[in-house]
Structure 1
Amino acid sequence: MLLRIHHAAIICSDVERSRRFYTGVLGLQVIGEHFREARQSWKLDLALPDGSQIELFSFPGAPPRPSYPEAQGLRHLAFEVLDVEATKRTLEAQGVEVEPVRVDEYTGRRFVFFADPDGLPLELYEAAPPNQVD
């Protein structure tokens, strides 16, 4: 039986630029880093406060991810936050372009999209009020 999502794997074009973004801008913690000689590839393990992880990989010559038109497969990665507006302002103060805040028509919660340095779509999704069950 599935318990939760353990990690999401992301392939980046520049591991140092992505490290700065995911740790410096988004605040994830580095929990491991390995250079895989046989693949000429870095693997950087990053943790969120709840223990979920992002594996950040670099592969020489990896093609860019098509975002438009939207292709089949993983559409975006969403992070839960307590206050979408406040987090949006924090990102914008660090030079990140963030789309306008929208409201989920089914849950009534606010959300917003932005992109990582390689254009991967990322989302901020507001946590449910304490008395609301998803």
Structure 2
Amino acid sequence: MEKRSFRIEGIHHVSLIVTDLERAKRFYENIIGLTEIQRPAFDFPGAWYAVGGSGQQLHLIVHEGETLRTRGIDTRDGHFAIRVNDYKETLEWLKHNQIEHKANPDSITGFAQIFLLDPDRNIIELNAEHQPDV
């Protein structure tokens, strides 16, 4: 196999289409707990968020229309994942806020998973190292 001429450093950002920016911002700030960061003055609305402390970002882009997703939470559908530090605490937070989710604490992946939908039906996975008494 031929060696590449470039090195991958990591994922910089994930972009998601949203239809209602203020609704999406409330969700990503108040439910997921992300912090909004500076965004260039594009000629279309959106918002950028820091994800963790390693430089990864989430970019929300307002786009008319809707996502192609019509069903509920499908764990095999396209999604992005955010690592959380406490699985049980995260589950309790989602339940407290009445956020529909699918929990998979004993995933064969080697880490515990929670899947949920944002207001525009984008799928998010929250995952954590396996923890006792989950």
**Percent identity of equivalent pairs:** 25
Matched, 1:86 2:92: no
The residue aligned with 1:115 is 117
Choose the corresponding residue for 1:45, options 48, 62, 65: 48
The residue aligned with 2:21 is 15
Counterpart-to-counterpart distance in 1, 2:59 and 2:37: 10
Choose the corresponding residue for 1:103, options 101, 106, 116: 106
Counterpart-to-counterpart distance in 1, 2:81 and 2:70: 16
The residue aligned with 1:57 is 61
The residue aligned with 1:126 is 128
What amino acid is the match of 1:57? I
Structure 2 runs not aligned, ≥5 long? 1-6
- Larger CA deviation: 120-129 vs 8-17: 120-129
Choose the corresponding residue for 1:30, options 33, 36, 39: 36
What amino acid is the match of 1:30? E
SS at match of 2:119: coil
Aligned-residue CA RMSD (Å): 2.4
The Cα of 1:18 is off from its aligned counterpart by: 0.3
Counterpart-to-counterpart distance in 1, 2:102 and 2:120: 16
Structure 1 runs not aligned, ≥5 long? 130-134
Give the number of equivalent residue pairs: 121
Counterpart-to-counterpart distance in 2, 1:103 and 1:65: 29
Q: What TM-score does the superposition give when structure 1 sets the normalisation length?
A: 0.77
Change (3 A) 1:127 1:4: farther
